[in-house]
Structure 1
Amino acid sequence: MNLAPQPNVSDAERERGVRLLVVEAAFSSGTSALTSGVILTAFALHLGASNLWVGILASAPFLTQLLQLPAILVVERMRARKRIAVLSSVVGRSMLLLMAGTAFFSGTMPLLVFLLAQYVLCGLGALGGCAWNAWIRDLAPEGRLGRVFARRTAWTAAVSLAAGLAAALILEHTADGSFERSFAFAGMFVAGCISGFISAGIVGRMPEPEMPPQTRRASFLDLLGAPFADINFRRLLGFTVSWQFAVNFATPFFTVFIVQQLGFDVSLVMILSAGSQLTNLAALRFWGTLSDRFSNKSVLLVSAPAYIAGIVAMAGASQSTDSTFVIAWLAALHLLMGAAVAGVTLASTNVALKLSPRGEATAYVAANALATALAAGLAPIVGGILADFFASRQLELLFRWTSPYGAVIFPLRLSHWDFYFLIAGAIGLYAVHRLTLVAEEGEIDRREMVSEVILHARRSIRNASGIAGLRAATELPSALLRDARVLFRLARARSQMESARTLEQ
């Protein structure tokens, strides 16, 4: 395995690298699916973690992104991005074996080892991620970024779905707190470690173009100066900070909310997560095509509010004592958020890469990662600290409808985690406002995009019968793209005419 960069990368080698980039997602997502998210939180609860411990654990993938600061200098001075990415991946993912061993112990020490190992894993992931992102920016063809990452994300969603269903089945057949469940968690982390090593091997086979010659030794301030001097990129960072804080203030506690406040088993959380991954997979082609044809910002202005609406609506699950209704409500919201987050993840990654100048992407991508780290890392810690405060507070509103036939009362009771969902919604609305200030070439009016998405949904529903209906539900109609392009060109022509009139006056 050659880990050195290549002075020249042929078109055939580039295409092979893009194919490997997509295949690698299957194994890296397998590692993530079995060792993070719901499973990581459930594992921590199995070890006896408190709400604050859960918050600190959830912040690890984000706070460790602060290591992108020294990582920028490491990448710029070593100029061997593939070597950094592969070695950091192998060493970091070996921590999963240590975390697997804690499943058979109890007390504070196993929790501490579990937490430290997670921070080491995420820290080395941040180092490798800085090199990886700048490397892929120079490897992937710019005109195909949306399609390439849509295919990659499709693999991620498919593998995560399969792994989530398997994990849910395993946890369903193991009792809470039993030795069998300890063995199940340990097995998941060992399998995740093996999958991670395979991922590192595939990455080592991908070609790395040499970085442009270094004209002078760049200082740390010089490297970070460029992205922060770019006013449009600063606006993107404003959106990133507020969005990440909104999302990570509430979502890390979904598992705690469903298990502790609603009283369901963790296996239900895994099934809901699998359903979310399914709609994520189904929506990827739609969002990926729109992001390539129009703009990533246009996609974000539709998908981000939908995701925030799903978070806020989670508070509705605590308003009913009917378990069947609550499960149906949670399932509907997870399906909605799965489809919405597909657009958010794809478009936010692409817009950060698109606004990064080719050959200088390291500092731009790292600056975006730092903004994400600070906001997303602090949010769950703040949430964990405030958990006890909100646990002892409750807000009750009584809505009464009176008519000649009698009165109907609609009680609304907000407690504990419900407050988190409402706060996250308010911050999320501010994040969407910050996004409107970002300029991206090719963006169209949000109302036009929404109307086209609704039109596509209506067509899919009308035709959702028989073989032709199933095909229409899974394919993006060419009319959608054609009509939206006409609308965009018409808006641009009107803008040019108005500018010409202004100049004549």
Structure 2
Amino acid sequence: MTRLAPAPYVSEQERERGLSLLIVEAAFSGGAAALTTGVILTAFALHLGASNVMIGILASAPFLAQLLQLPAILLVERRRARKRIAIYTSIAGRLMLGVMAATAFFSGTGALLIFLAAQWVLCGLGAIGTCAWNSWLRDLAPENRLGQIFAKRSIWLTTISLALGLAAAFALDLTAEHSPARNLVFASMFATGCITGLLSARVVSAMPEPMMPTPIGDVRLTELLRQPLHDGNFRRLLVFVGSWQFAVNLATPFFTVFIVRQLHFNVSFVLVLSVVSQIANIGALRYWGMLSDRFANKSVLAVCAPAYIVSIVGMIGASQIGDRDLVKLWLIALHLLMGASVAGVTLTATNIALKLSPRGSATAYVAASATVTAVAAGMAPIIGGLLADFFAKRKLEVLVRWSNPERSFGLPLVLTNWDFYFLVAGLIGLFAIHRLSLVQEQGEIERRELMGKMLDDTRRSIRNISSVAGLRSATAIPVSLLRDARVRRRLRRARSVD
């Protein structure tokens, strides 16, 4: 049990070893997530006969369960054993994946309700563990390396998801819908996810936990939440988080349903699209992590968030194109854009909440952000599921026609069913981006300036195709790195003097 106890002092060597294990752990937790969440989770639910409302409830579970972070704050602050809490909840929650695997061999409402209940238990325990986990990492990871560390971890997570996503697509493509073979495939995925999830907890147990600061007086939930709620800048961040999460989760949980039921593609193609998105995610993560450390998280968000909203609204185009090959190319292009942009959104949205929370008091700040996320992201898919039948019976037709003396050209736009969700999500997303502009973060730069720097980097990369220009550019890289290092060193000295 002493291995799970917090350490009064964590040496630099122990800290670096813990950060290395954080990357290793990503391989196991990424494997569990890749086989039991996202497209596979929705596909499994559809395989069991879930309705649109049930899909919405299933998609809301990971978010509404985050409300348990509120009582988890008291648990963390009173027990002051974040590692122990994170590991115990992880083990108990991952065992639910075994229960979900067993439902593959049964049919009817009973099996589906057990499947939903197990998912909610898994998400609830995960929320409690996440509250302890985030606060633990906030004190373990150096602030000036948050972007790099989480980008590297996210690359591992995405790489594992990419490999397992391809394997899952291949396995599902070899089996017929509602066949015993497909039952076995889904059961194997969730059983494997259960095992890798337990291995993840084993790796986490070897990471050091810095001891939390000594509390002053009794810990009360209202007092803990008062500080982040009275922080005007953090409160503006919460408005952005809430509106953003509602916009995104009104549409994205139903991508699989849209592609399978409205566009009539099979599940294996949806998994291929997921893999395409993950490839773009891997390619962009390191770059976004570098930019967030060099400039600010908000500056990266100001570029990535609009791109992600554009890709969601762009899903409407898939239902407007008649050629199925062109539809496939359109969906692939959108998923490339979504993968690259969501990499920056996920990375920086987490980092900015951590960065704006005081060191040693991150638990309440992170939990406040998680609570807003839980309510907004959890209610969105439920509302979406309840309104599915309403929008399914509605249609909006718009015809744009251009005429001249020689000929006329018409562009029809027909919105039906899930198309309405993508349009509404885009409008709410625009409001969220506006609210982001009101948040203040040290080191932020204007979106136009960041875009200019990104274009400069792109031009330098293209110039490297020429051997002469490439040599000239290569000789300039060490100088720029030394200059950046010197600036960072001066900044650290100035902070230490203050």
Band of TM-score, shorter chain: over 0.9
The alpha carbon displacement at 1:461 in A equals 4.9
Q: Residue 223 of structure 2 corresponds to which residue in structure 1?
A: 222
Q: What is the CA RMSD across the aligned residues, in angstroms?
A: 2.1
For residues 205 and 483 of structure 1, what CA distance do their matches in structure 2 show?
Answer: 37
Pairwise CA distance, 1:457: 3.4
The CA deviation string for residues 53-78 of structure 1, in whole angstroms up to 9 with x for no partner, is 00000000000000001100000000
The 2-side partners of 1:383 and 1:431 are apart by: 19
Alpha-carbon distance in 1 for matches of 2:352, 2:477: 24
Provide the rounded CA distance (Å) in 1 between the counterparts of 2:346 and 2:195: 26
CA distance in 1, matches of 2:336, 2:298: 22
Q: In the TM superposition, what is the alpha-carbon distance from 1:256 to its structure 2 partner?
A: 0.2
1:79 match: 80
* Alpha-carbon separation, structure 2, partners of 1:265 and 1:300: 33
Structure 2 residue 366 is matched with structure 1 residue 365: yes
Alpha-carbon contact 1:456-1:477 (below 8 Å) kept: no
- After superposition, residues 236-385 of structure 1 pair within 5 angstroms as 236-385=237-386
- Report SS of the residue matched to 1:106: coil
Q: 1:484 to 1:434 in 2, by over 3 A?
A: farther
- Partner deviation per Cα, 1:436-477 (whole Å, 9 max, x = no partner): 1110000001111122223333444565699x99xx9xxx97
Moved more, 102-111 or 253-262: 102-111
Structure 2 distance, partners of 1:348, 1:99, is: 31
Query: What residue number does 1:28 align with?
Result: 29
| 3-state SS of 2:442 partner | coil
Q: How far does residue 482 in structure 1 lie from its aligned partner after superposition? A: 11
Partner of 1:116: 117
Question: Which residue identity does 2:435 align to in structure 1?
Answer: R
Counterpart of 2:13? Answer: 12
TM-score, structure 2 length as denominator?
Answer: 0.93
Structure 1 length-normalised TM: 0.92
Letter in 1 for 2:72: A
Measured after TM superposition, the shift of residue 405 of structure 1 is 2.1
Distance 1:47 1:439, change over 3 A: same
Distance 1:254 1:477 in 2: 42
2:210 equivalent to 1:212: no
Q: Distance in 2 between matches of 1:465 and 1:316?
A: 38
For residues 51-110 of structure 1, the C-alpha deviation after alignment (integer angstroms, 9 at most, x for no partner) is 000000000000000000110000000000000000000000000000001011111111
2:488 — aligned with what? none
Residue 160 of structure 2 is matched in structure 1 by: 159
Amino acid at match of 2:417: H
Structure 2 residue identity aligned to 1:103: A
Distance in 2 (CA, whole Å) between partners of 1:184 and 1:363 is 41
Change (3 A) 1:44 1:414: same
User: Counterpart amino acid of 2:264?
Assistant: G
Structure 1's 220 and 83: CA in aligned 2 closer, same or farther, altered over 3 A?
same
Identity %: 64
Cα distance in 2 for partners of 1:62, 1:74 equals: 20
Structure 2 residue 43 is the aligned partner of structure 1 residue 45: no
- Where structure 1 has 5 or more consecutive residues not aligned to the other structure, the ranges are 486-505
Whole-angstrom CA distance in 1 between matches of 2:41 and 2:259 = 15
**Could you tell me how far apart the structure 1 residues matched to 2:211 and 2:69 are?**
21
CA apart distance, 1:400: 1.2
Higher deviation after alignment, 394-403 or 106-115: 394-403
Partner of 2:396: 395
Structure-1 separation of matches of 2:381 and 2:336: 23
Q: Using a 3 Å threshold, how does the CA distance of structure 1 residues 462 and 181 change in structure 2: closer, same or farther?
A: farther
3-state secondary structure, aligned to 2:438: coil
Corresponding pairs, count: 480
**2:400 alignment partner, SS class:** strand
Q: Where does residue 135 of structure 2 map in the other structure?
A: 134
Measure, in 1, the Cα distance between the counterparts of 2:399 and 2:480: 44
